[in-house]
């Protein structure tokens, strides 16, 4: 076999390997609702990193894809607000973690999380204890988001990956905040 053929074959194998690894590590997803606006809007196409959480724990502020607790066949996308073993309270648009106003470095201050009195975990001033194996997640557009305030916690084992990049439409292309 000629040297050029060996190099071409090696390049083809490398490209095929890279494409296969990319498909395993990165999952495309299209946003169907405005529950995560303004960070994500209806029609945005995004990439989900499905590998990182195998090596590190999710962090407060991460936008995650997970299996919906009430129907595991459905995937949902929300922002992690409460971490395992924390006590969380929503009061007048503010989030309190273990009695202290949440750090706005991890969650932009422009986010206002509303109380939903009719939901089990959404009542004003209600102290919510997050289980050791779970997260409390909220949609950024809290007036239009069904989230942990309504149906409770997302178990660690049900987290699929981290949303990290908007690839379409082109005018919104970039890292997810």
List the chain domain ranges: 3-175
Element (H, E) at 127: strand 127-129
Residue 105 has pLDDT above 80, yes or no: no
Alpha-carbon Rg of the chain, whole angstroms? 19
Q: Does domain 3-175 have CATH number 3.40.50.261?
A: no
Residue 52 has pLDDT above 80, yes or no: yes
For tokens 């919510």, the residue is 128
Q: How far is the C-alpha of 36 from the C-alpha of 98, rounded, in Å?
A: 25
Q: How far is CA 111 from each of CA 34, 36, 37, 57, rounded to the nearest angstrom?
A: 14, 10, 10, 23
The region that residue 136 occupies, defined by phi over 0 for left and psi between -120 and 50 for alpha, beta otherwise, is beta
pLDDT tens, residue by residue, 56-96: 999 999 999 999 999 999 999 999 999 999 999 998 888 99
Residue 115: alpha-carbon gap to chain centroid: 21
**What residues are paired with 60 via a beta bridge?**
none
Task: Write b or e for each residue in 85-116: b if 16 or more Cβ atoms lie within 10 A of its Cβ, otherwise e.
Answer: eeebbbeeeebebeeeebeeeebeeebebbbb
pLDDT of residue 27: 80
């Amino acid at each position: 076999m000629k040297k050029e053929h060996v190099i071409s074959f090696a390049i083809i194998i490398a490209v095929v390997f890279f494409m296969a690894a990319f498909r395993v590590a990165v999952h495309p997803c299209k946003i169907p609702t405005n529950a995560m606006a303004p960070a994500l809007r209806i029609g945005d196409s995004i990439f989900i990193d499905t590998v990182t959480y195998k090596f590190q724990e999710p962090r407060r502020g991460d936008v995650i894809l997970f299996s919906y607790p009430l129907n595991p066949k459905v995937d949902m996308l929300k922002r992690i607000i409460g971490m395992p073993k924390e006590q969380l309270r929503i009061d007048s648009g503010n989030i309190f973690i273990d009695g202290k106003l949440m750090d706005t470095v991890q969650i932009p201050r422009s986010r206002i999380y509303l109380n939903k009195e009719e939901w089990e975990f959404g009542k004003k001033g209600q102290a919510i204890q997050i289980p050791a194996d779970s997260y409390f997640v909220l949609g950024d557009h809290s007036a239009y988001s069904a989230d942990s305030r309504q149906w409770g916690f997302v178990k660690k084992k049900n987290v699929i990956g981290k949303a990290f990049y908007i690839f379409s439409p082109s005018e919104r292309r970039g890292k997810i905040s």
